[in-house]
Amino acid sequence: MGIERREEARFCFCLFCLRFDHIRRRRRRQQRTVISSSCFKIPPIISVFVFMLLMSSPVFPATSAKKIRRDHHVFRPQEETNKMKLVKAHLMKINKPFVKSIQSPDGDTIDCVLRHHQPAFDHPKLKGTKPLDPPERPDGHDEGEISSENHQLWSLSGESCPEGTIPIRRTSEQDILRANSVKKFGQKIVRPVRRDTSSYGHEHAVGYVSGNKYYGAKASINVWAPRVTNRYEFSLSQMWLISGSFGHDLNTIEAGWQVSPELYGDNRPRFFTYWTNDAYQTTGCYNLLCSGFVQTNNRVAIGAAISPLSVYNGGQFDISLMIWKDPKHGNWWLEFGSGTLVGYWPASLFSHLRDHASMIQFGGEIVNSRSWGSHTSTQMGSGHFSGQGFGKASYIRNMQVVDWGNSLIPLSNFKILADHPNCYDIKGGANRVWGNYIYYGGPGKNPRCP
C-alpha cells in the first residue's frame, strides 16, 4: 500500500465501525469482527476540513468564554465600580432638580434651578437661609458706563431662565472622571502659595496693591482664547481679593475667565469664580461646584462660555467685574458686566476676609506641567508679550479698589511682577481713559524660554 493510501486509511471514518466498537466494549465476550470493507474513505482535503471543523466546534469557545469573563473582572476591578458609585452620588449632590433646561451651542446643558435649591444652601452655615436683597453699590460706580454687552453662548438662542431660578451649568459624568479624584473635583491643586514667585508649576504675571485695608475691587478684563497644550494645564485672567498669610490660613475670592480642558472638557474661555479660606487645602471650589457662593441672578451662568472673543489685530472684547463688601451685612458681592449682580460670598465662609482684604491682584496665571521636559507652550492672555500693545497683547483696564467708605478709588503704590518674564511678561500704565491698566501675557516656550 502506498504512502498516500496509508494516509487516507488513517482518516477512515465508519459509523458502523464506531457503533460496533461501542458494542464490543459492553460485550467483551463477543467475537471480534473486523468489517473493513464497509468503511468508506474520505479524500485528504475533506479530512482536513473535518479536522478544522472539530477544532472550531463550540467546545473550545466555551472554555475561552470563561477565561474572558475572568479577564473582564481583572479589567474592571472593584475599585472602579466603587469609583463610579462615588461619581454618580456626587452628580446627584451637585446637579439639583430643575424646572427648565437649555441646550447651549457649545454642548453645555444649562439647568434652571429654583434659587432656594441651589448648592449654596447645602453649606452648614447657610442652611435655612434665603438669598439676600442687592446691597448699595460703591460710590463712584458709573451706572451709565459704556462697556461691551456681556454675552454667554448659552443665551444666544434667546432662551432664559424664569424669574426665581438661577442658571447652573450641568456637570456630566465625564467632567468628574477627568478630575484627579471625585473628592477634589472642582478644586484647585493643593500647593504652597506665595505672591512673589511661581509654585508647583503655577506662573503669574500680575499687578497688585497691598499695605492697606481693601473692601473690594473693579476692572475690565480683555477676553481671549489662549492655547492650552494639555488637559492638566490651564490659562486664566482674573482679579484676586486676598487676606491672611501666604500659608494655611490664606483667604481668597477670585473671578475672571479661564480656559481649563480638565474642568470643562474644551478650550473655550469661561466666566469663573473661586474661593477658599485655607489656602486651597480643603475649602472652596470653582463656580457652584460646592456649597458657598449664593447666586441671585437668572441671566448669568457661572462656568459658561463667553462670547464674543478678542481677535488679534482686530476687534477687542472685555468683561467688567466688580467685587465689593456690603457695608450692611458684610458679604462680598459680585457684579458681571454693566450693572448685573450675580450673587455673593457670605462673610461667614471666611476668617480674614470676614473683615477686609489686605491685597488685591490683577493679571494672568498658567500651569506649567513641563510634560515634555521643557517649558509649556500654554499661552497666557492673547499669547503675545505685553510690548505688542492694544489689539495684540491682553489687557486689564480701569483697575480700582473700594475703600472703607464704600467708594471706588484709583490704585496707589501699584506694583507689577512676572515670575518668568522671558515666558510671560507685564507692564503697567495709567491714562485718563483707561485709568490704571496693565498689558500682560506671552507664548510660554520660545527661544528665551526653553
Residue pLDDT, tens place only, 390-430: 999 999 999 999 999 999 999 999 999 999 999 999 999 99
pLDDT band of 143, cuts 50, 70, 90 = low
Give the span between the Cα atoms of 289 and 262, in whole angstroms.
Answer: 14
Q: How much is the pLDDT for 339?
A: 85
Q: How much is the pLDDT for 29?
A: 47
Please indicate, yes or no, if residue 59 is contained in any of the structural domains. Answer: no
Please indicate, yes or no, if residue 128 is contained in any of the structural domains. Answer: yes
Q: What percent of the chain has pLDDT over 70?
A: 78
pTM for this model (two decimals): 0.80
One domain for residues 115 and 17: no
Beta carbons within 10 angstroms of residue 262's beta carbon: 17
CB distance 126 to 346 below 8 Å:
yes
Name which of 297, 317, 341 is nearest 110 in CA terms. Answer: 297
CB distance 185 to 179 below 8 Å:
yes
One domain for residues 46 and 104: no
The answer on pLDDT for 23 being more than 70 is no
One domain for residues 95 and 47: no
One domain for residues 291 and 431: yes
One domain for residues 262 and 172: yes
Q: Please give the residue range of the domain that contains residue 8.
A: 1-24+42-52
Please indicate, yes or no, if residue 446 is contained in any of the structural domains. Answer: no
Please indicate, yes or no, if residue 255 is contained in any of the structural domains. Answer: yes
Give the number of domains in the chain.
2
One domain for residues 240 and 317: yes
Lowest mean pLDDT among 21-35, 137-151, 328-342: 21-35
Residue with cell 478650550: 267
Active-site positions read 254, 365
